[in-house]
Amino acid sequence: MSTNNNNEELNELAASSQSKQSTSTTNDITTPTTSKPAPQSSTQPKMVAAKPSPTSASSTAAAAAAKPSAAAPPPKTQPEPPPFEKGLVEQIRSKFGDLVKVVFIKPLRIKILVEPQDIVGVASFLRDSMGFDHAESVGGTDYPKDNQIEVIYHLGSYTREELAAHILWLTTRTDRDDARLPTLINVYKSVEYHERECYEMLGVYFEGHPRNERFLLPEDWADIPPLRKDFRIKGR
């Protein structure tokens, strides 16, 4: 009996020792080792924009060129002149041809340009054959860049009812440095004072006019004609 008891005790001691070793081994294996994370850099990496390659740039340019461009606006067309005014101009052209240049034709308004040597003949035709029997006014415009002065006669009619509201601008141009024009006083008596005013204010001398003299400016006026564009008031 004692032998058996001793054997049992020895077996129990061996089993107990093996159990402790197994537990220790198990604890060593299952215990996780905690590792600290690697410190992160405080400086963030900079984002660098990628440069477009020549291929992509050319592709963009080609795509832009492929887009249809905006259509150019259509050219402005001049309105058809009124039939009545157009008929008046045709009468003048049939008489003088290329000696008369038509500047514009509008409702109730016509402007024509002639050379100085032709203005008396054209004015006489307008009075005698077309009914423009009087000059309502005479004006002038200075064109320094062209070195010219333009004189405009505004002609109307008392005798033709259909012309009562119409004004025909009979114009001509003269050299600014030697401004001389033939007078129309023998065609239209009403231009007497208007031509004198153009002489005084623009410096246009009207050949054949009986009184190329001042009546607005003082007699001792010593400056250039005041309606020329290079005139300046002294002190300004």
Q: Identify the residue whose tokens are 């200075």.
A: 142
CB-side neighbour CA atoms (13 Å) of 125:
15
**What pLDDT does 122 receive?**
98
Q: Indicate the pTM of the whole model.
A: 0.68
Averaged pLDDT, 129-143: 97
Q: Which residues of 35-67 are buried (b: 16+ CB within 10 A; e: fewer)?
A: eeeeeeeeeeeeeeeeeeeeeeeeeeeeeeeee
Residue 236 reports pLDDT greater than 70: no
52, 126, 169 from 89: Cα distances, Å: 67, 11, 12
**pLDDT band, residue 72 (cuts 50/70/90):** confident
Q: How far apart are CA 212 and CA 215, in angstroms?
A: 10
What's the CA gap between 170 and 110, in Å, rounded? 9
Per-residue pLDDT band for 80 (boundaries 50, 70, 90) equals confident
Cα–Cα distance for residue pair 172/117, rounded to 1 Å: 9
Domain-by-domain residue ranges, the chain? Answer: 83-207
Question: Beta strand 167-175 with 109-114: parallel, antiparallel or unpaired?
Answer: parallel
Whether residue 156 is predicted with pLDDT greater than 50 in this model: the reply is: yes
3-state SS string for 24-62: HHHHHHHCCCCCCCCCCCCCCCCCCCCCCCHHHHHHHHH
65-69, 85-89, 208-212: the lowest-pLDDT one:
65-69
Using DSSP's 3-state secondary structure scheme, residue 141 falls into strand
Q: Which of the four pLDDT bands, split at 50, 70 and 90, describes residue 116? A: very high
**Look-up of token digits 């005084």:** 200
Single-letter amino acid, residue 3: T
Region 83-207: CATH code: 3.30.460.80
Per-residue pLDDT, averaged over 105-125, amounts to 98
